[in-house]
Amino acid sequence: MRRRQHGDAGQAFPIYMMMVAGLLFLALAFFAVGKASALRNGSQGAADAAALAAAQKARDNFGTGFYASLGPNKLDVFLAAGFDAPCYEASRLAAANDARKTSCYETPGYLRDRITVEVEGLKAVNSSVLPGSENKKAKGKATALIEFRCPNPIAVDSNSDGFMDLFTFTCRNGEVLAIAPASPPPWETVSRTLFDVRLVDQ
């Protein structure tokens, strides 16, 4: 039987240390990637919340124009009007989700307006194993659609004076909404029936 030479253990030690260092580096790299993924998911969630909040606020703010348009044959003017993006609401929701709004804009479309919000997370990846990550922040982008869902409204002029006395909306969900311009219901009870707000693909 050959005896192990004392030099074998000394030669194996540097290899062992390199293996430990490599495993430690991999662990740190996996941690950094996991942190970056979590920050990216958080920023996307902030963008989603900000876009939805802005679209919902835009829908709520549309009521004044709606009631003002209920004159003679003016409903089409209301339906063709675009929504303004209330970007202050997007900023508020982004901040509540540890992000800041970097962009907010509307894309008008007949009966289908879109509001797009871009955000940047407040926290950097800041990993020692990823060069430049001390200033790398996650970004997110989301678009919310405001869609009129009550097509072909019926206007009734019972007095034949050119002024509509009643508008009846039959919506895609089967709900029927009747609005008398002389005594309109509160807009907040109307807007959620007339308009659907949801996230859509970019």
pLDDT digits (tens, 9 = 90+) for 52-77: 999 999 988 887 667 666 666 677 77
Domain assignment of residue 178, yes or no: no
Of 200, 176, 173, 174, nearest to 190 (Cα)? 176
Domain assignment of residue 166, yes or no: no
Structure token pair of residue 173? 């969900």
Report the phi/psi class of residue 49: left, alpha or beta, with left for phi > 0 and alpha for psi in -120 to 50: alpha
| Predicted local distance difference test score (pLDDT) of residue 78 | 75
The percentage of residues in the chain with a pLDDT greater than 90, rounded to a whole number, is: 28
Domain assignment of residue 167, yes or no: no
Domain assignment of residue 101, yes or no: yes
Structural domain of residue 61, as residue ranges? 9-148
Domain assignment of residue 195, yes or no: no
Domain assignment of residue 48, yes or no: yes
Domain assignment of residue 88, yes or no: yes
Phi, psi of 28 (to 5 degrees): -65, -40
Please determine, for residue 96, whether its predicted confidence score (pLDDT) is greater than 90.
yes
Domain assignment of residue 144, yes or no: yes
Number of domains in the chain: 1
